């Protein structure tokens, strides 16, 4: 049907779907106790909307309409299941393994506890029984309303792979009988860490893609930030949630300055800070302040956000509080030990106290097996050696870095620096 305005209505329906689907699925999951069924019911409501609205017009309260339509179907489903269970009982089968679904579903409670339901949905989608990739796919699907094809494009994997990940994830949740609930206090730290990990994974998937050839990848950052803000609203007393929002917003504030007009990456120290997004910086610093005010021992996201904040606050590279950055890397290395963090500390120490001090730290990393093929190690050493006037050694390091990187643009950059060492 190509009725005038059909496409416009379709776009409007999609917009409503994007806004409402997480709350819809969350509420339905509580009625049915089954995330897969909840998603199907929500999809059914969407299909009905797509059929009816173009001809009958978009209802005045489209969100409420979708909710009411899906609720009716959910009640039908639960009643059918209850009758089915009753029948089974009559013929004497053992029903111990089936979740309790007898009686009328409490649908009116659905509107009162939407926040809790949304939180339950986040926790189940990010459950540690699922692999990080499966968690990310399920989260984007259930909480961001993304289609399987969109998720596939975002993660640069074939569509059937994502579809299979989601199917398997749903099956795992059902088989393990993962309950639709907010974790108990004792379990909470681990479960929350799993949620934060997924959100940051989604963010980094978008942030690592500097080339904007496909809009889906950069927009992953926006999805992750939105998820973070939703979680910060639902779990306002958790410092690490605010800290993760701060970290993502502060990093994202630099997006516009991270590539030059030709699409070449621009290093932090060379970026035009006038292009940084002041609104995101303000937001990020406010979220970090909230994390600080909640007190407690700072977690890894808070320390990383503090580092990002040092850069965000500085008007120039010279004005950056590098001593503070170096100290924060010590804390971060203590919380999550990693040679990559140690290399970052070497850079900060070099900025704060001189290249020789930074090089001394970087030199201790050359025997680390984890960094044996890591191009950034020779690149950092090359940079520090060049600053110290040891150009022959610097030249060799940049050549090594060029040989190790798989990124063409980065290789060109390293080779140019190697050539500059030879000329000087």
Partner 1 sequence: MRYMMLLSGTNPATPPPPELFEAIMKLGGEATEAGVLLDTAGLLPSAAGARVALDGGKVTVTDGPFTESKELISYALYEVRSKEEAVEWAARFIKLHRDHWAGWTGSTDILQVMDPAGP
State the residues that interact with partner 1 by CB under 8 A: 11-12, 14-16, 18-19, 60, 62, 115, 212, 215, 218-219, 222, 225-230, 233-234, 255-256, 258-259, 275, 279, 283
CB of 323 vs partner 1, minimal distance in Å: 31
CB of 361 vs partner 1, minimal distance in Å: 33
CB of 113 vs partner 1, minimal distance in Å: 14
Q: Which is nearer to partner 1, 189 or 233 (CB)?
A: 233
Helices (H), 126-260: 132-144, 148-155, 159-175, 188-207, 216-234, 239-252
Alpha-carbon distance of 424 to 414, in angstroms, equals: 16
Q: Look-up: residue for tokens 């050696």?
A: 385
CB of 9 vs partner 1, minimal distance in Å: 10
Burial profile 13-50: b = 16 or more Cβ within 10 angstroms, e = fewer: beebbeebbbbbbbbbbbbbbbbbbbbbbbeebbeebe
Long-range contacts of 403-407 (CB under 8 A, 24+ apart): 404/373, 404/374, 404/375, 404/378, 405/375
Q: What element of type H or E holds 394?
A: helix 391-404
Q: Which residues contact 273 (CB under 8 A, 6 or more apart)?
A: 257, 314, 315, 316
Integer-rounded Cα Rg, in Å, for the chain is 26
CB of 377 vs partner 1, minimal distance in Å: 29
Alpha-carbon distance of 351 to 330, in angstroms, equals: 15
Q: Which is nearer to partner 1, 221 or 328 (CB)?
A: 221
Q: Which is nearer to partner 1, 246 or 328 (CB)?
A: 246
CA distances, 382 to each of 3, 368, 375, 377, 386 (Å): 64, 17, 11, 8, 6
CB of 11 vs partner 1, minimal distance in Å: 5
CB of 251 vs partner 1, minimal distance in Å: 13
CB of 195 vs partner 1, minimal distance in Å: 15
Q: Which is nearer to partner 1, 7 or 76 (CB)?
A: 7
Q: Which is nearer to partner 1, 137 or 235 (CB)?
A: 235
Q: Which is nearer to partner 1, 64 or 88 (CB)?
A: 64
Q: Which is nearer to partner 1, 148 or 255 (CB)?
A: 255
CB of 167 vs partner 1, minimal distance in Å: 25
Measure the N-to-C terminal CA separation of the chain; round to a whole number of Å: 70
Q: Which is nearer to partner 1, 218 or 298 (CB)?
A: 218
Helix (H, G, I), strand (E, B) or coil at 195: helix
Alpha-carbon distance of 246 to 225, in angstroms, equals: 9
Alpha-carbon distance of 80 to 224, in angstroms, equals: 38
Burial profile 221-251: b = 16 or more Cβ within 10 angstroms, e = fewer: bebbbebbbbbbeebeebbbbbbbbbbbbbb
CB of 422 vs partner 1, minimal distance in Å: 35
Q: Which is nearer to partner 1, 150 or 399 (CB)?
A: 150
Q: Which is nearer to partner 1, 8 or 95 (CB)?
A: 8
CA distances, 309 to each of 223, 225, 296, 306, 403 (Å): 21, 17, 19, 5, 34
């Amino acid at each position: 049907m190509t009725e005038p305005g059909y496409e416009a209505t379709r776009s409007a329906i999609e917009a409503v779907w994007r806004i409402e689907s997480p709350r819809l699925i969350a509420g339905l999951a509580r009625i049915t106790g089954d995330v897969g069924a909840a998603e199907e019911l929500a999809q059914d409501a969407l299909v009905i909307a797509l059929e009816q609205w173009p001809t009958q017009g978009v209802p005045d309260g489209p969100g409420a309409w979708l909710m009411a339509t899906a609720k009716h179907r959910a009640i039908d489903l639960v009643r059918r299941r209850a009758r089915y269970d009753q029948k089974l009982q009559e013929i004497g089968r053992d029903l111990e393994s089936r979740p309790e679904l007898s009686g009328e579903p409490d649908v009116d409670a659905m509107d009162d506890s939407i926040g809790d339901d949304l939180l339950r949905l986040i926790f189940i989608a990010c459950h540690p029984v699922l692999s990080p990739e499966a968690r990310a796919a399920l989260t984007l699907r259930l909480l961001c309303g993304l289609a399987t094809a969109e998720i596939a494009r975002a993660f640069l994997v074939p569509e059937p792979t994502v579809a299979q990940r989601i199917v398997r994830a749903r099956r795992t949740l059902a088989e393990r009988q993962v309950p639709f609930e907010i974790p108990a206090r004792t379990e909470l730290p681990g479960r929350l860490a799993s949620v934060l990990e997924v959100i940051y994974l989604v963010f980094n998937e978008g942030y690592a893609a500097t080339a904007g050839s496909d809009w889906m990848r950069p927009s992953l950052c926006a999805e992750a930030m939105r998820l973070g803000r939703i979680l910060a609203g639902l779990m306002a007393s958790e410092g690490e949630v605010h800290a993760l929002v701060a970290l993502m917003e502060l990093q994202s504030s630099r997006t516009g300055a991270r590539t030059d007009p030709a699409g070449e990456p621009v290093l932090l120290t060379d970026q035009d800070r006038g292009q940084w997004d002041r609104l995101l910086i303000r937001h990020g610093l406010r979220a970090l302040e909230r994390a600080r005010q909640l007190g407690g021992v700072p977690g890894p996201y808070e320390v990383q956000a503090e580092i990002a904040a040092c850069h965000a606050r500085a008007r120039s590279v010279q004005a950056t509080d590098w001593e503070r950055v170096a100290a924060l890397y010590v804390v971060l290395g203590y919380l999550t030990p990693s040679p990559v963090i140690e290399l970052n500390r070497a850079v900060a120490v070099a900025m704060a106290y001189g290249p020789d001090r930074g090089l001394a730290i970087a030199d201790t990393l050359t025997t680390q097996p984890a960094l044996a093929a890591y191009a950034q190690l020779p690149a950092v050493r090359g940079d520090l050696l060049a600053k110290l006037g040891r150009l022959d050694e610097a030249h060799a390091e940049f050549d090594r870095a060029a040989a190790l990187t798989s990124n063409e643009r980065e290789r060109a950059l390293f080779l140019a620096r190697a050539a500059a060492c030879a000329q000087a």
